[in-house]
Amino acid sequence: MTEKYRRVSGDAVEYEVFARKTRGEPLHQVGSVVAPDDDLAAAYARATYDEERWIEMTIVRKDHVIALWSPGE
Amino acid sequence: MSISGVVLSIADNKQMLGLRYAEWATRAPSLEADIAAAAMGLDDLGHSRVLYGCLEPLGDDPRGPERESDPASLSALPYFDEPWSEWAQFVAANAILDTAFTVMIEACVNGNVEVLQHRLRKMLSEERYHFLHGRSWLRSGIEKGPLDEAWRQALEWFGPPDGDAAALHEEGKLAMGPSELKSRLEERLETKAPPMELSWKGWDGKRRRTKPGAIDARTFGMLRGLEEKRFAPAAKAQD
């Protein structure tokens, strides 16, 4: 049944999920989701990380993040 | 039918939609889709509770005692009568039927019935994620069969052109009548309904469907708490 749907292993990309609970705190990473497009990533992020009372949640495609340095560099 | 009948039908359908979503919480194509199925199921079961809670303040609760024993007294669509065996059925329900229910809720929120204006508004923001999920999966392409069936049942559920939804629209209780509901559904899904002829011959205005039938016995038993009794410990003998 699910063999026909290979989206996660095919076109899907990783999105980082950021959220905060109060205006005073910065957005911080709460996890990630894998999805083939922005809409589905938004739906997955909300479903997966909505257990806390966030006032803001955003998602960013991981391949759009520009790393300045990484662990071990 | 009064506005209460429409609200009861949204509630019954959302209850069944929530249950059918939940059945896919470990069978969807990815872990994320599993979690989304569970979360959307919880949302819709919660929405059904809010909708049932509106019936008393509306002052015209159409629920009778037959709902305790007769599954055919519930006003859910034939689409929910049996568990879904294919992911395409899930996607078609998620994209077409869930959005059809949301469009009807919009019509209630923008109508002139105060209790519905206030209590149903929050559902619209929660439904946004159901919509994104359904539309995205729909765009990926699914089989035509479940899709056409979901469209047919959604358009039937809006009711005949001269039926109750049209009358409620004229009274201002619903901000949209059947033709506006259809247009709004097409607008949201950015697609036209497939060409089809609707026959109102077998239309059951109370259940908002044309096909006879009812939900399966196991699901009905679960709704009534009867399934739970199968797992309850035997009652202790009185001393």
Kindly state the DSSP code that residue B161 receives in the 8-state scheme: T
CB pair distance less than 8 Å for B32 and A50: no
The answer to whether residues A24 and A55 touch, using CB atoms and an 8 Å cutoff, is no
pLDDT tens string A19-68: 999 999 999 999 999 999 999 999 999 999 988 899 999 999 999 999 89
Tell me which of B21, B24, B27, B35 to substitute to probe the interface with A (most A C-beta atoms closer than 10 Å): B35
What residue in B sits closest to A9 (Cα-Cα)?
A: B30
Residues of chain A with C-beta less than 8 angstroms from the C-beta of B95: none
Token output for B72: 């055919």
Question: CA nearest B92: which of B105, B80, B76, B104?
Answer: B80
The model's pTM is: 0.87
CB pair distance less than 8 Å for B36 and A35: no
pLDDT tens string B159-207: 999 999 999 999 999 999 999 999 999 999 999 999 999 999 999 999 9
Residues of chain B with C-beta less than 8 angstroms from the C-beta of A47: 32, 35-36, 38-40, 129
The answer to whether residues A2 and B29 touch, using CB atoms and an 8 Å cutoff, is yes
Please give chain B's pLDDT, 239 residues, in tens.
799 999 999 999 999 999 999 999 999 998 999 999 999 999 999 999 999 999 999 988 899 999 988 999 999 999 999 999 999 999 999 999 999 999 999 999 999 999 999 999 999 999 999 999 999 999 888 889 999 999 999 999 999 999 999 999 999 999 999 999 999 999 999 999 999 999 999 999 999 999 999 999 889 988 887 666 667 666 655 54
Query: Which three-class secondary structure state does DSSP give residue B194?
Result: coil
Residue in B32, B129, B137 closest to A34 by CB: B32
Q: Buried (b) or exposed (e) across B188-201, using 16+ Cβ within 10 A?
A: bbebebeeeeeeee
| Amino acid in position B20 | R
Mean pLDDT of all residues in chain A?
86
Residue in B36, B86, B137 closest to A1 by CB: B86
Our CA-based measurement puts residue A70 at a distance from the nearest CA of chain B, in whole angstroms, of 27
Token output for B179: 């033709």
Residues of chain B with C-beta less than 8 angstroms from the C-beta of A46: 39, 129
